Amino acid sequence: MSTSAGHAWEVPRLPVSVGALIFDTSGRLLVLDPTYKSGWTLPGGQMESDGETPWDACRREVREECALVVEHGRLRCVDFLHPRPGHDGGLRLLFDCGEITEEAASRIVVQAGEIAEARFVDEETAFRLLSGPIRRRLQATLRSPGVIYLEDGRPVDAVPSAPA
């Protein structure tokens, strides 16, 4: 909390999470089946509050959840989720981390106790497996050639997609 001219004000804190789009050589997307929530998800998770950057969080989460080392990525999506009962809302960022080789895919090891399964799936299967907000975010991202801004997984007309 800070004060200014005798008025106390608090800097808002907003949860930030990151996700990674990782593809195999056939163009299929890596999805994970977490044990702690229903539905499938993308590799990723919460950014730490110790000064970790979104990109560092993306690389850390991918390493922790499936033992892959991500070295390159491109920001593809910023999604603002409004708070609702039981959910803080926050920012969700998606990084396109590109394609991995068959050898790298064979070295995937899921995080014990947190991830039940990892698999590469085509777009249609990904859209069926992923939960609503993640599915909408992924659909909008894959339709946009550049970086896209969303609110609750939906494009905002006043903020057009940035060119690739």
Q: Which of 7-21, 49-63, 107-121 has the lowest mean pLDDT?
A: 7-21
Measure the CA–CA gap between 28 and 120, rounded to whole angstroms.
5
pLDDT digits (tens, 9 = 90+) for 128-163: 999 888 999 999 999 999 999 999 999 999 999 888
User: Does position 5 have pLDDT exceeding 90, yes or no?
Assistant: no
Per-domain residue ranges of the chain: 13-155
pLDDT digits (tens, 9 = 90+) for 95-114: 999 999 999 999 999 999 99
The larger pLDDT score, comparing residue 1 to residue 74, is at 74
* Integer angstrom CA distances of residue 160 from 78, 112, 140, 144, 157: 12, 40, 12, 10, 6
Query: pTM for this structure?
Result: 0.90
CATH 3.50.50.60 fits 13-155, yes or no: no
Amino acid at 58: C
* pLDDT reported for residue 4: 59
* pLDDT reported for residue 69: 96
* Integer angstrom CA distances of residue 154 from 78, 135, 137, 146, 161: 11, 11, 7, 15, 12
Band (11; pLDDT cuts 50, 70, 90): confident
Band (6; pLDDT cuts 50, 70, 90): low
* pLDDT reported for residue 96: 98
pLDDT digits (tens, 9 = 90+) for 58-105: 999 999 999 999 999 999 999 999 999 988 899 999 999 999 999 999
- The burial of 76, by beta-carbon neighbours within 10 Å (0-12 exposed, 13-18 middle, 19 or more buried), is given as buried
* pLDDT reported for residue 73: 97
